[in-house]
Every structure is written in structure tokens, then in C-alpha cells.
Amino acid sequence: MFMVGSYVVSVLSGMRYADFVNSRIFKPLGMTSSTYSIDAAIKTGRFTDTWTEFGRLIPPWIEDEFEDIIAGPAGVISSVKDLVSHTIGVHDI
């Protein structure tokens, strides 16, 4: 149902869900490392790969062409600094 929720937000706001969240949540909170775009995350130079406990690389599975579909239920790519500092009010991490 999160997909439906993100769709409703995009219809009512007249913009893509990712753009809505970026302009109404990420930017006002100063969350500069949060995005829905895998390409944007990679371009920052701070994107890291995921590994299994056995050392096997898990490639990024969110492709930009599916961003609108997965944005609501599982699309946020962020940093610990963005998530923690704006969740508990610590700005100097």
C-alpha cells in the first residue's frame, strides 16, 4: 500500500513523489545526502556497496527507471549522518 500512498502524493501534488519528498522534507531538513536516485547517490562519491557476511557483493537493485514505482515503499538512499542528525537533533555528527 506504500506504492498507492506515493502515487496519491504525486497526483495531489502534481509532481513526482521523489521530487515532492526532496523539496518538502529533505531540503528543509538540510538532508544533503538523501535521494531516491541510485545514479545521484553514486555521483556523490560517497555511495558504498553492500556485502554479505561471506564477502559476496550485492549490487544495487534500485534502478532509476523504476524510481517512481519503488520510491514509496523502499526507495530512500541516505547516509547515517542525514538520518541520525535530523531524527534526534544532533547536527554536528
* Helix axis angle, 67-74 to 2-13, nearest 10°: 120
pTM beyond 0.85: no
Contacts of 36 (CB under 8 A, 6+ apart): 17, 18, 21, 22, 67, 71, 75, 76, 77
HSE, side-chain direction, 13 A CA sphere, residue 4: 1
Nearest to residue 40, comparing CAs of 13, 14, 71, 7? 71
Q: How many domains does the chain have?
A: 1
> Considering the domain boundaries, does residue 66 fall inside one?
yes
Tens of pLDDT along 18-50? 999 999 999 998 888 898 888 888 888 888 878
> Considering the domain boundaries, does residue 93 fall inside one?
no
Give the residue numbers spanning the domain of 82: 2-88
